[in-house]
Structure 1
C-alpha cells in the first residue's frame, strides 16, 4: 500500500468510517479472533421480505453492505470462531397465527436450508439442506447445527462439514427458538404449538424433559454462567426463569400490558438484566433477571423482534420489522439513540466483532 493511501485508511479507521462504499454488495469485514480490536464490530440484520442481509458498521452506524441471501432469511447464528454466520432460509409463504394455510401459495421447498455465510468474503459458501422451513438455529463448537424443522415438529441435528443429518428429535409442533447453553451441554427448543420448551442433552441427543411455559414461546436465552434459562411466551406474556440443572421453574411472571408480545431476548454480560423485545407493543424492556420486574423501557416502535448486545453491553440493537429499521438503544438509559434503515422486514440481528486491516 502506498504511504498516502495507508494514511487515509488509518484516518478513516480513527473516525470510525467504513472503508467500503454502500451498495448492493460491498466488502464484508474480517471475522474476530484473538486480535479483535476493542469495540470494533459489525451488526448483521436478516431481512425477511427483501431476502437479504444488511451489514451495519458498529462505530459509524452506517450501512456498509446489502447482500442477497435467498428466500425469507430469519434466524442467524455466529460460529464459535467468529468466521461464519449460519442463516435459516425458508421457501414457505409468510403467514401469521391463525392463517388458513390451505389458502396460501405452495411452499418452495427447494429454497429451504441453512446458508453458510463467510464473514471475511461476504459470500454464501454453500447451503446445508435436510431441514424444512427452518426458523431458528444454533451452532456448536464441535461442528453441529441444531435447526428447528417447523413442518416436521423436530429438531434437526446436522453435521456442518458434510451436511449429513445426525439426528431428528421430536420437540412438539411448530418448533421455533433454538439455543445452546453456554457450555454446549444442552440445547433448548421451544414449541409454539404445545407451549413448552424441550431441553436436550447434546452428548446423547436425548430429551431430558419438556417444561410447560407461556403460550406460543418464541425464544430461550441463558445467563452467562448457564445456570438459568429465560423463556418468553408471546401470546399470554408469560416469562419464566428455569434452573438448567434441576430443570425446574425458579420464577414466573406475566408482563403487564395487553399489547406486549415478548419475542427476542438478550442477557447482559453480568447476568443481571434481561432485555426483551415486545413485538407489537413497540418497546424493548429491561427486566431484572432474578425478579423479572421491569427496570426500564425503550420506545422503539415498529414491532421489535430480534435483539443483540454490543460486545461491551453498552448498546442493544433491535430489528423492527414493519419500520424497516434497526434501533440502537443505550442500555444505561434505555433510550433509542439512533435508528438505521435496513431492508424490508428486518427479522433479527447478530453482532460480529472485527479486526483491523
Structure 2
C-alpha cells in the first residue's frame, strides 16, 4: 500500500520530465521546451508589402514591421534598391539572426532579432526560395529554385562559399536535428535529395508523388521527414534515416502549403496548412491518423510551433493575418492583423534577450490594407465559396490574388470582369490559368481593380468571375462573385 504514493510520485516526475524535454522543431527531441514569453517573437515574410511583421506571442500583438522594400509602383523603378517578393524565412541556432529570402530580388537579408536592423544582404541566383542555418550555425543553405543548386553561405560572413548541385528547381531544405543530413525537396522535379552535411554529397533520393514540393520539415525525434505537394494536394512522409524509405502518402487537400510539428502531453503531431480549404489539418506522427481539422481563415500558408509546443502560428496569406492555435484544444485562440500575403512564418524563442525589442519597427500602415471577395458556382447554396480573392492595396493599384478551387483538373480557365453579378454580358479577361491536378490554382493580376469592383456608379461597376476557356476564346462563367467583405 505504501508503494502507491511512491509510484504515483514517480510517474508524475517522469511526466514532468518528459514535458520539460519535449523538444520542438527545428530542435532535437531532447532539447528543453522554452515557455512562451515577451522575449519571443513571431515573424512573417509578407510578399506584396515587402515587409517582415514582428509579433509578441505572449500578448498576441503586432509590434510593427521591418520594411525591406516598397510596394508598387515604387519597386518597378530601374534604380530601385529594396527587396521584392519577401517570401522565405529561417533563423540561426542562437536565435539572434533571421534569414529572410526575397524571391523577386534574388536575395537573403540577415536581420538582427534584438534590434530589427539589417546586418547583411547576400545576392544569389534566380528566385531563391528558402534559407536555413545548419544546426551548428556554421552554414546557411539557400535553395535557388530558379536554377539547379543549393547555395551554401558561411554562417558568419553570409557570403556564398560553395554550391550543391541538385535537380532543377530545389524548393526547400531542412536539416535532421543532429545536423547530419540536409533534406532538399524539388518544385520542378519529382525527387527529394538527401545530402550529407559534412561532405555536401547526395547520399539518398526519395521519389516525390508530384514535381511541386514547396515545403519540408523533420520531426524532432529524428525519425521522419514530411513534405507537401501543392499541385496534387498530398503530404508524403519518409524515414529520415537510410535507406530513406517512403512511409506514407496522405491525401490532404487542394493547395497543401506547409507542414510543421508540435509535441505536447498528447503526443507528436504534424500540422499542415490546406490553402484551398482554409484549414489546418492535424495528424499523429506515429499512426498518421488525422485527429483534427481547424478552420483558420483565407489561404493558410506558413506555420511554426512555439518553443514549448503549446501553440502553432499560421500565416493567412489572403487574410493578411496571423492565427494562433492552441495545440491541446486545436482551436484558434487569437488572430492578429499583419502585412500583405504572409508566406513563411518563424517562431523564434528568446529572440530579444533584454529590453522591449521594438527599436526600428514601423507601423503597419498601407501594408495591412486588403479587400476580400468570394466566388462560387452560379446558383450555389449553403454559402459554399470555393474561391477566395484578396486585393492587396498598393496605392493607386492592387495586387489581386485568388485562391481558386473547385475546378476541373488540368482544364484552362480565365479570371475576368463581367458586366453583371450573374456573369452575363461581355467578359474582360484579367489572367489565364490552368487548374492543377487537384482542381485548384493561385491566380494573380495587377491593376486598379478595387475601384472597378467596389466603387463607381451602378453602370460602371464590374464583377469578378472565373470562366472556362482561354484569353482568345472565353467560355461560360463557372464561378461568380458572391460576396464582398
| Number of matched pairs | 302
Partner of 2:360: none
Contact 1:145 / 1:157 at 8 angstroms: preserved in 2? Answer: yes
Contact 1:281 / 1:301 at 8 angstroms: preserved in 2? Answer: no
Q: Distance in 2 between matches of 1:336 and 1:164?
A: 40
The CA deviation at 1:171 is 2.0
CA deviation vs aligned residue, 1:45-94 (integer Å, no higher than 9, x gap): 11011000111111111111211022111111110111110111122xxx
Find 1:228's aligned residue among 202, 216, 224: 224
Partner of 1:245: 241
Matched, 1:88 2:101: yes
Trace 1:1-357 onto structure 2 (pairs within 5 A): 38-40=35-37, 41-69=40-68, 70-91=83-104, 111-140=105-134, 141-215=136-210, 216-255=212-251, 257=253, 260-269=254-263, 272-354=268-350, 355-357=353-355
Q: Distance in 1 between matches of 2:262 and 2:349?
A: 17
The CA deviation at 1:295 is 0.5
* Larger-Rg structure: 2
The CA deviation at 1:225 is 1.9
Which is worse superposed, 75-84 or 138-147?
138-147
The CA deviation at 1:170 is 2.4
Contact 1:113 / 1:132 at 8 angstroms: preserved in 2? Answer: no
The CA deviation at 1:237 is 2.6
Secondary structure at the aligned position of 2:318 is classed as helix
Shift of the 297–164 alpha-carbon distance from structure 1 to 2, 3 Å rule, reads same
TM-score, length-scaled by structure 2: 0.59
Secondary structure at the aligned position of 2:256 is classed as coil
Contact 2:138 / 2:156 at 8 angstroms: preserved in 1? Answer: yes
Q: Distance in 1 between matches of 2:156 and 2:221?
A: 29
The CA deviation at 1:256 is 5.3
Q: Distance in 2 between matches of 1:342 and 1:306?
A: 13
TM-score, length-scaled by structure 1: 0.80
Q: Distance in 1 between matches of 2:247 and 2:187?
A: 20
Secondary structure at the aligned position of 2:263 is classed as coil
The CA deviation at 1:343 is 0.5
CA deviation vs aligned residue, 1:130-174 (integer Å, no higher than 9, x gap): 343111121122421100111212111111333443322222222
The CA deviation at 1:265 is 1.1
Q: Distance in 1 between matches of 2:247 and 2:155?
A: 36
Q: Distance in 1 between matches of 2:310 and 2:36?
A: 10
Q: Distance in 2 between matches of 1:51 and 1:266?
A: 24
The CA deviation at 1:339 is 0.9
Partner of 2:379: none
The CA deviation at 1:235 is 1.8
Partner of 2:431: none
CA deviation vs aligned residue, 1:243-291 (integer Å, no higher than 9, x gap): 122233252233254xx32221111235621111112221111101123
CA deviation vs aligned residue, 1:192-225 (integer Å, no higher than 9, x gap): 1112211100111011122112321122111112
Which structure is richer in relative contact order (CA contacts within 8 A, separation 6 or more)? 1
Shift of the 39–326 alpha-carbon distance from structure 1 to 2, 3 Å rule, reads same
Q: Distance in 1 between matches of 2:157 and 2:354?
A: 32
